[in-house]
Amino acid sequence: MWTWFYKLASPPYVYGVAKLLMPWFLGAAAITIGYGLIAGLFFAPPDYQQGDAFRIIYVHVPSAWMSEFVYTTMAVAGGIALIWRIKVGFAVAAACAPIGASFTLLALVTGSMWGKPMWGTYWAWDPRLTSELILLFLYVGVMSLRSAFEDPARGDRAAALLAIVGAVNIPIIHYSVVWWNSLHQGATVAKLGKPSIAGSMLWPLLSMFVGFMLFYGAVLCLRLQGEVLNRERQSAWVREAIKS
C-alpha cells in the first residue's frame, strides 16, 4: 500500500513521474487559466464601485494565495527531507523557492497596480501588502542561504531549517502587522467586498485558482527534473536518461 510513497524517495522514479506529469499539468493549466482570463476579462460584468479595475483580482488573488501555498510546500518538503533524510525532499524545496518568490512578486506588483486607481498610490502600508513583502524577504533569505554554502548538501539542510523557522513565524508576522495597522491608522482602507460576489465574477476566479495550482504543478515538475538531474549528475541513470 505504501510502496508508491516509498518510491517517491528514489530520484530516478521522481524524475520519471515529473517528466510524465508535466505536460498534463501544463495542458490543464492552459485550459483553466484560458477560461478564467477570457471569462474574467471579457464576460464578467464590471464592479459597480471599482469598474474594470477589479479585474486584476483574477491574477492578484490567486498569486497571493499561491505565494503562501508554495511556502508551505517548501517548508513541508524541507521538513520531510530533514527528518527522514530523503534527498528528493531537498530537490523539491529548492525547486519551490524561486516559483514561490515569483508568485509573491507577482502578487505585490499586481497589488500596487490595483492600488494606484483605487487608493491613489502604488504602495500603502496595508497589512496584507506588508506581510506579503515580508514573505518575499523570507523567500530571498532562504534562496540566498542555500546558495551561500559551497557544500550543496549543507546548503540544502540549512535552507530547509530556515524555511521551517519562517513557516512558524509567518502567522505571528501576519497578525502583528494587522495589529500594528489597527494601532496606527484604523480601517481606512476599503476591503474587497468578499461575501457578495456574483457568480459570473466568481467562476472565472475559481478557475484561475485551479489554473494557478496546475501551473505551479507544471513548473514544479519542470524545475524538479532539472534539480534531480543536477544533483544526481554523477550517477549512471542520469547518463542513460540524457542519451535516450
Nearest distance, CB of residue 41 and other proteins, angstroms: 35
Nearest distance, CB of residue 5 and other proteins, angstroms: 25
C-alpha cell at 199: 457568480
178/229 with CB nearer other proteins: 178
Those residues whose C-beta lies under 8 Å from the C-beta of residue 152, and which sit 6 or more positions away, are 231
C-alpha cell at 180: 500594528
Nearest distance, CB of residue 153 and other proteins, angstroms: 9
Nearest distance, CB of residue 46 and other proteins, angstroms: 37
Nearest distance, CB of residue 60 and other proteins, angstroms: 22
Q: Which residues bind other proteins (CB under 8 A)?
A: 82, 134, 137-138, 140-141, 144-145, 148-149, 154, 157-158, 161-162, 164-166, 168-169, 172-173, 176-177, 179-180, 183
167/219 with CB nearer other proteins: 167
User: Sign of dihedral through CA atoms 145, 147, 151, 153?
Assistant: positive
Residue that the C-alpha cell 464592479 belongs to: 47
Nearest distance, CB of residue 158 and other proteins, angstroms: 5
158/210 with CB nearer other proteins: 158
DSSP collapsed to 3 states, the chain: CCHHHHHCCCHHHHHHHHHHHHHHHHHHHHHHHHHHHHHHHHHCCCECCCEHHHHHHHHHHHHHHHHHHHHHHHHHHHHHHHHHCCHHHHHHHHHHHHHHHHHHHHHHHHHHHHHHHHHCCCCCCCHHHHHHHHHHHHHHHHHHHHHHCCCHHHHHHHHHHHHHHHHHHHHHHHHHHHHHHHHHCCCCCCCCCCCCCCHHHHHHHHHHHHHHHHHHHHHHHHHHHHHHHHHCCCCHHHHHHHHC
1/172 with CB nearer other proteins: 172
Nearest distance, CB of residue 81 and other proteins, angstroms: 12
19/128 with CB nearer other proteins: 128
165/198 with CB nearer other proteins: 165
12/155 with CB nearer other proteins: 155
